[in-house]
Amino acid sequence: MKEIKEKSIINSLREPFYFANSKLTRKQFIRGLIVAGLFTQIPISSCSNKENSFVEDGKLNNEKLRLLTSIQEILFPKTKNSPSASDVNADKYLLWILSDENKSTKDKKYIIDGLSWVNQTSIENYDKDYLNLDSNQQNNLVKIISDESWGRDWLSIIITYIIEAVLADPLYEGNIDELGWKWLNHNPGNPRPRKEILYGNIKETLANR
Amino acid sequence: MSKIYDICIVGSGAGAGPIAYELSKAGKTVVILEKGPWIKTEDFTKDEIVSSRRSVYTPNLKDEPQVLEKKNSKGEWIAESNADGGRDFWNGNCVGGSSNFMSGYFHRMKPKDFKLLSTYGEIKGANIVDWPISYEDLEPFYEKVERVVGVSGKVVSHSTLEPRSTKEFPYPPLATNIVSKWIDLACNDLGYLSVDVARSIISKPLNKRNSCVYSNYCGSYGCSSDAKGSSRVALLNDALETGNCTILPYSKVYYLKSNTDNKVEKAFYHDRENNKQEISAKVFVIAAQAIETSRLLLLSKSDNFKNGLANNNGLVGKNLIFSGGGLGSGQFLKQDFSDKDFSALMVGGLFVNRSIQNWYEINDTDFGGKAKGGTVDFLFEHANGIRKAVRQKFDNGRLLYGTELKDKIHSYFTEQRKITFEIFNDWLPTNDCFVSLDKDVEDKWGDKVARIRLGYHEQDIKVGNYLGEKAKLVLEKLGTKNIKLGVSGSAPPNLVAGGCRFGINPQKSVLDKNCRAHDVKNLYITDASFMPTGGSVPYTWTIYANSFRVADKIKEEFN
Ligand SMILES: Cc1cc2nc3c(=O)[nH]c(=O)nc-3n(C[C@H](O)[C@H](O)[C@H](O)COP(=O)(O)OP(=O)(O)OC[C@H]3O[C@@H](n4cnc5c(N)ncnc54)[C@H](O)[C@@H]3O)c2cc1C
Ligand code: SF4
């Protein structure tokens, strides 16, 4: 997994939105996964106008969603002056990412597979599913995972999307009440976007003019 | 019979704008085929997701990949498609092209840049040549760009200042942050000269364009005040007002049909609904940005041009160049400054606009004597919030999370400001940097995609490091901490030129000195493809100026 790479050049800040191939699968994990029968549909309303087809395909289930929310909260907890992942709807934001038709199935699968790898690591270490761990154990597990190279890469992607949820325009339905901007005293600039020209809508809006 | 336009232009960016502007004003019928959408000023907002984190202004790589060739550790060239992600060399596909998104740091090339070979001699492994025109030939057009496109700045006399036909810029310099004064003082102490950087941003209104509102989000963003000198705003709007210019967005040209008389007759394109369409014209001008221009010529094979249009000498796509150099940075830490100074430093929106050109020509025995050097420009780190926060994720390779990460992000936003410098030096043309067509990979329309070999010359790194080490001293003097320098042979996708170099000798160049193909009587190329060497500055002022120059030649042809 390559990190989103920075260009060492003149203000070219268009950071490519990509994931590459290197550690996309953890074969040893996938082999050991018990996936049958787990899938149910999750009723979520994507914050874009897109159908959340990937989720509805049944590849992300309720347990995984709860696991995701929990991990996100460990990665980005609440403090006195700052919002937590759940304060900015980071889970919903990630589901929106997973519904992005421009994002490759492989990239989406990587994000979802990571949730299974986390659970597998939990079983290896505690002989329990992640969701049955107490909060100390969950915190420890995240520490263990972050010390492994696959875990570091996967968590890093999850953090990137939490940060997007914290600092993107509130129209993307993260950054509720501009909590992220207020926390960092960040001025996002003007003019602000309108719904019809958000990512997910802009290409269609322009094409229909 | 379908309409025959006087001029058909492929692309609508910096290379295209002056042609459309001049020829439509001269009463000629102009049609512009632009592959991207037409995004109007009101649809450019400060949405970081759209501008910087997803492919919105550039194609989805699944639909339009490129193949990049890089050297592996064994010295072998390895090609890889970026369809699944990775670096790409698209910059801005919409009416106005990447000129909508540029930061507008504008520098003229200097007289010696036009005579690199005769001034500094050969460098082994580099295909350096002199230009077939001189600085004096281009100067009136540099000046025209200042007026028509709009360039603001202040002339500061120094040893490598280019000769100017006017005393001052038509637009006064933009307002600057307190740091600019500090840079002046630091440079003064070091015996360097800090000079004002011109910007393609107007500081007072021009016709329907407002002056800059200091939005703090300039590079990578479209401009909402129309102050930035994009081709769309500065040139195409005027061209449209003549009634002679038609812009067709969503029109991706894939083939130029030439006849037995070696003239282009038609451009074929895919339209919005992916139907194939054609346009006839008397003169064709290609300005699709260097890589795509070469690709289009290579795709346009015919009986007379079996290896691609204007490519009977095999030079189309060759000698691609970028901007050499790198990036340095340092942090102003709150704890090191008085509250008053730190508050002044944190004011957003105001520009830095300072550069050093003391080493445009290096004359240093430690370096190896006289050599071509380059430019150092200072600027603040971009204001993009997500980007700044995401970059705090790691500490020496260790992933941070939880309160540790949050504290670091908070401190980064409130207790420091990063200043950077960018180094521009020549990217020497070599046999290892070129565009060809990939044999296998096709875009969504079934057209072969560009394959880009990304080799560089070691001299580029040597010069970049020399300049970088000097610039670091300025950051030290300014009192910044965590000073870093990165110089590499990694090609900056947005600063690209060459591939169809111009020259006198038809055996050694693709275009003649007026940027007309030696072999194709009615084909001109007006993006940066014509440049055999690029100078040690960003290219866009030169692209605009040259395109105005060629516009005059095309007008003469018509007359
Ligand atoms: C973020 C950023 C910052 C920059 N900052 C600076 C700066 O500070 N200073 C500076 O000098 N330069 C800067 N630049 C570079 C500057 O934008 C370019 O040098 C300039 O726009 C190039 O002009 P062009 O005509 O070659 O290409 P463009 O302006 O990109 O125009 C090419 C057009 O051709 C279209 N096209 C391509 N293929 C086809 C086809 N087959 N059919 C139809 N249309 C086609 C494209 O969609 C595009 O609209 C920056 C660029 C970027 C992206
Ligand atoms: S208003 Fe000024 S700073 Fe903002 S995008 Fe336009 S030119 Fe750049």
Task: Write down the ipTM of this complex.
Answer: 0.95
Percentage of residues of chain A with pLDDT beyond 70: 72
What is the Å distance from ligand 1's center to B267 Cα? 21
| Closest C-alpha to B13, from B88, B101, B144 | B101
- Taking the alpha carbons at both ends of chain B, their separation in whole angstroms is 25
Q: Chain B within 8 Å of A140 (Cβ-Cβ)?
A: no
Comparing A9 with B368, the larger pLDDT belongs to B368
**Closest approach of chain A CAs to the CA of B54, in angstroms?**
6
User: Which pair of structure tokens corresponds to residue B174?
Assistant: 């933009």
CA distance readout (Å), B430 to B22, B32, B299, B488, B490: 35, 33, 23, 16, 15
Count of beta carbons in the 10 Å neighbourhood of residue B58: 21
Nearest by CB to residue A13, choosing from B384, B389, B403, is B384
Separation CA A167–CA A88 (nearest Å)? 9
What is the pLDDT, as a whole number, of residue A10?
38
**Closest approach of chain B CAs to the CA of A66, in angstroms?**
18
Percentage of residues of chain B with pLDDT beyond 70: 100
Instruction: Check if B379 has its Cβ closer than 6 Å to any atom of ligand 2.
Output: no
Count of beta carbons in the 10 Å neighbourhood of residue A145: 21
pLDDT at A47 over 90: no
In chain A, how many domains are there? Answer: 1
**Which ligand has the shortest distance to the CA of B544?**
1
Mean pLDDT (whole number) for B473-498: 97
- B343-373 as b/e: b if 16+ CB within 10 A: ebbbeebbbbbbbbbbbbbbeeeeeeeebbb
Separation CA A95–CA A118 (nearest Å)? 18
The conformation of residue B478, written as its DSSP 8-state character, comes to T
Mean pLDDT (whole number) for B427-452: 98
Q: Chain B within 8 Å of A9 (Cβ-Cβ)?
A: yes
pLDDT confidence bin for A48, thresholds 50/70/90: very low
Comparing A19 with B302, the larger pLDDT belongs to B302
Separation CA B335–CA B480 (nearest Å)? 11
pLDDT at B384 over 70: yes
Contact yes or no for B342/B332 (Cβ under 8 A): yes
Separation CA B269–CA B97 (nearest Å)? 18
| Closest C-alpha to B383, from B412, B405, B356 | B412
Burial (0-12, 13-18, 19+ Cβ within 10 Å), A107: buried
Rg (CA), chain B: 23
Query: Alpha helix (H) ranges present in chain A?
Result: 27-32, 53-54, 62-75, 90-98, 105-126, 135-146, 149-167, 179-184, 202-207
B344 Cβ neighbours under 8 A, 6+ residues apart:
B177, B178
Q: Chain B within 8 Å of A136 (Cβ-Cβ)?
A: no
CA distance readout (Å), A136 to A66, A78, A132, B309, B413: 17, 16, 11, 68, 31
**Chain B environment of A19 (Cβ under 8 Å):** 85
Contact yes or no for B272/B34 (Cβ under 8 A): no
Chain A residue with the nearest C-alpha to that of B383: A188
Separation CA B69–CA B436 (nearest Å)? 11
What is the Å distance from ligand 1's center to B100 Cα? 8
**Chain A environment of B488 (Cβ under 8 Å):** 8
The conformation of residue A130, written as its DSSP 8-state character, comes to G
What is the Å distance from ligand 2's center to B388 Cα? 20
Atom of ligand 2 nearest to the CA of B215: 4
Count of beta carbons in the 10 Å neighbourhood of residue A27: 7
User: Which pair of structure tokens corresponds to residue B445?
Assistant: 């329309």
Nearest by CB to residue B216, choosing from A9, A167, A187, is A187
CB contact under 8 A, A146 and B48: no
Domain assignment of residue A42, yes or no = no
Query: Which of A18-27, A170-179, B9-18, B462-471 shows the lowest mean pLDDT across its residues?
Result: A18-27
What is the pLDDT, as a whole number, of residue B273?
95
Partners of B257 in the β-ladder: B266
**Alpha-carbon B179 to chain mean position:** 26
CA distance readout (Å), B451 to B60, B268, B291, B494: 17, 22, 9, 17
Domain assignment of residue A90, yes or no = yes
Nearest by CB to residue B492, choosing from A9, A18, A104, is A9
Chain B residue with the nearest C-alpha to that of A183: B410
pLDDT confidence bin for A59, thresholds 50/70/90: low
The 3 state secondary structure assigned to B32-63 is EECCCCCCCHHHCCCCHHHHHHCCCCCCCCCC
Domains of chain B listed by start with CATH number: 4-558 (3.50.50.60)
* Closest Cα to atom 38 of ligand 1: B288
* Closest Cα to atom 6 of ligand 2: B223
What average pLDDT does chain B have? 97
Instruction: Check if B380 has its Cβ closer than 6 Å to any atom of ligand 2.
Output: no
Nearest by CB to residue B86, choosing from A9, A18, A155, is A18
Mean pLDDT (whole number) for A53-71: 76
B537 Cβ neighbours under 8 A, 6+ residues apart:
B107, B108, B109, B375, B424
Separation CA B371–CA B365 (nearest Å)? 10
Which of B529, B540, B542 to mutate for ligand 1's pocket (most ligand atoms within 8 Å of CB)? B540
Separation CA A119–CA A121 (nearest Å)? 5
Establish, for the pair of chains A and B, how many residue pairs have beta carbons separated by less than 8 Å: 208
Atom of ligand 1 nearest to the CA of B96: 49
A204 Cβ neighbours under 8 A, 6+ residues apart:
none
What is the pLDDT, as a whole number, of residue A20?
29
Residue the block writes with tokens 């900015």: A88
Q: Label residue B223 left, alpha or beta by phi (over 0 means left) and psi (-120 to 50 means alpha).
A: beta
Contact yes or no for B49/B384 (Cβ under 8 A): no
What is the pLDDT, as a whole number, of residue B85?
85
Mean pLDDT (whole number) for B109-126: 98
pLDDT at B203 over 80: yes
pLDDT confidence bin for B198, thresholds 50/70/90: very high
What is the pLDDT, as a whole number, of residue A6?
36
Q: Crossing angle of helices A149-167/A62-75, nearest 10°?
A: 80
pLDDT at A29 over 90: no
Mean pLDDT (whole number) for B196-212: 97
CB contact under 8 A, A159 and B215: no
Nearest by CB to residue B326, choosing from A8, A74, A102, is A8
Chain A residue with the nearest C-alpha to that of B399: A152
**Which ligand has the shortest distance to the CA of B171?**
2
CB contact under 8 A, B385 and A16: no
* Closest Cα to atom 14 of ligand 1: B102
**Alpha-carbon B44 to chain mean position:** 20
What average pLDDT does chain A have? 78
Q: Chain B within 8 Å of A96 (Cβ-Cβ)?
A: no
- Domain containing A171 equals 24-36+50-207
DSSP track, B275-325: -EEEEEEEEEEE-S-HHHHHHHHHH---SS-TTSTT-TTS-TTEEEE-EEE
pLDDT at B35 over 90: yes
CB contact under 8 A, B46 and A191: yes
Question: Kind and range of the H or E element at B326?
Answer: strand B323-333
Instruction: Identify the residue among B39, B54, B380, B465 best suited for mutation to test binding to A, counting A beta carbons within 10 A and taking the highest.
Output: B54
B550, amino acid identity: V
**Chain A environment of B390 (Cβ under 8 Å):** 4, 159-160, 163
pLDDT at A22 over 60: no
**Alpha-carbon A22 to chain mean position:** 19
- A155-193 as b/e: b if 16+ CB within 10 A: bbbbbbbbbbbbbbbbbbbbbeeebbbebbebebbeeeb
Burial (0-12, 13-18, 19+ Cβ within 10 Å), B407: middle
Residue the block writes with tokens 């490598």: B160
Question: Kind and range of the H or E element at B462?
Answer: helix B458-477
What is the pLDDT, as a whole number, of residue A28?
31
Greatest Cα pair distance in chain B: 75
